[in-house]
Chain A
Amino acid sequence: MTDVSVCVPNAPEYLRVIRQIAMVVGAKADLLLDALDEGQLASDEAANILMKFAEPGAPLNFEWAAGPGVLHLHARTRCSLSHLPDFPETLGYAWVIISSITSTLEIFLENGEVHVDLSVEGAI
C-alpha cells in the first residue's frame, strides 16, 4: 500500500523533495538511523536512473510505502528504449552505490516505461 506518491518534472532541483519524502516515509517505517539515511540516498539514485532513461519532457513518478523496518519505493517514467542496457556498465559507480544500500532492487521496462523497484531495510 502506498503511503506517499508524487510526480515531479525531470529536473535535478526536485531531488530535494524526493529526499525529504523518503525521510518522512522512512521515519514512519521506524528505520534505524543509518537506514533512514540510505533510504534517502536510494530514492535519490532511483531518481537519477529515471532521469537518465526518461523520454524528453516525461515527468518522474514515485510511490513510497512504509512497512515495519522497511521502506519500499516504486519509481517510473516514460522511456522510448526497447531494451535497457547492461546496468553495472551503464551506471558505473551509481550502480555500486544503489546496489550496496538496497535490500531488493529491480529495474525493468514495461508498457513503455522504465521502472525502479527497491527496498531499504533497517530495523532492530
Chain B
Amino acid sequence: MLTAGAVNELIRELRSTDVTAARSDELKSEIIAEHQGLIRYFIRLYDGQVVEDLVQLGTIGVLAAIDNFDLDRQVAFATFAGARIRGEISHYLRDNATIRIPRSVQSHIKVVRAAQDDFVAQHNELPTFVQLATHADLNRSELFDALQANQSTHLFSLDDPETHLDIAATHSEYEFVDEWASVQPAIDQLAPLERKILGMRFIEQKRQSEIAQELGMNQMAVSRRLNSILERLRHHVTAELHEE
C-alpha cells in the first residue's frame, strides 16, 4: 500500500513533460490498482449486488481524478478520488435506476456473444442477423431483445477481458480536432480504450469487426462501447445547449 506522498509522486511523474506514453500507462495502472479497495468500498455503499460490474465506473472515476487532482492542495489523492468514484457510481445508478434486464435476456446476451464468436471463428466474417439467430438457436424476437439489451448495458465484469484492456490500454494516439472541438471536454473524459475505439472507427474509418479483431474484443462489445461513447458525446452537446 502506497502512502499519500508516494501516490503524489506517481502523479507528479505522470505530469512531467518527458514521461513516455508507455510509462504514463504504467503509472495510471499503478494508481488504479492502488485504489481498487476504495472503488469497492464505494460500490458496497451504493449497491452490494453488482460489485464487480461497477468496478469499471469506479476506475473511470480514478482516471478523472488523476487528470484533475491539484497537487498543491493539502488533501490526499484518495479523498479527492473518492468523490469522483462516488460521483461516477451514483450518477450511473441514478440514470439507470429503471433499467433492469430480465435474467432470461441476460442469458441470451451470453448465448449470442458465444454464438457470434463461434460463427466468426468458423467463417472468418461477421454473421448477418438471420445467420446469428440460426447459429444462436434463438428466434428473431429473442435476438432483438438480446441485441438491444447489449447496447444498454454499459458495464463490464472484472472477469471480462475488456476490463483489463481498459486498464492496460495504450495511450491514445488519435487527435480529435476540428469537427470534434465541440465535444473535446467529453472526449477528454473518455477512458483510453474508449478514445482508441472512437479514433479507430471515425478517424481510421475501421469497421466494428476490424476494431474487435485488432483489440481482441467481440464486435458486440465494440458496438456497446461505441453506443455508450456517442451517447455521452451527445449528452455533452445537449448539456451545453441548455447552459447557453
Contact = CB atoms under 8 A, between A and B. Distances in A.
Given A27-B144, A48-B234, 8 more contacts: A26-B129, A27-B143, A32-B127, A33-B129, A34-B208, A34-B219, A38-B208, A41-B226
- B-side interface mostly: helix
Interface string A15-58: 00000100110110011111011100100000010000000000
Given A93-B179, A95-B179, A33 B126 contact: yes
Q: Interface size bucket, B side?
A: 20 to 34
A41 B227 CA distance: 8
A88 B180 CA distance: 11
Contacts of A97: 202, 230
B128 A23 contact: no
B130 interface: yes
A123 B128 contact: yes
Interface in B206-223: 207-209, 219-220, 223
Contacts of A24: 144
Contacts of B132: 33
Interface in B168-221: 179-183, 201-202, 205, 207-209, 219-220
Contact of B179 (A12, A33, A88): A88
B148 interface: yes
Contacts of B223: 33-34, 37
B231 to A, nearest CB: 9
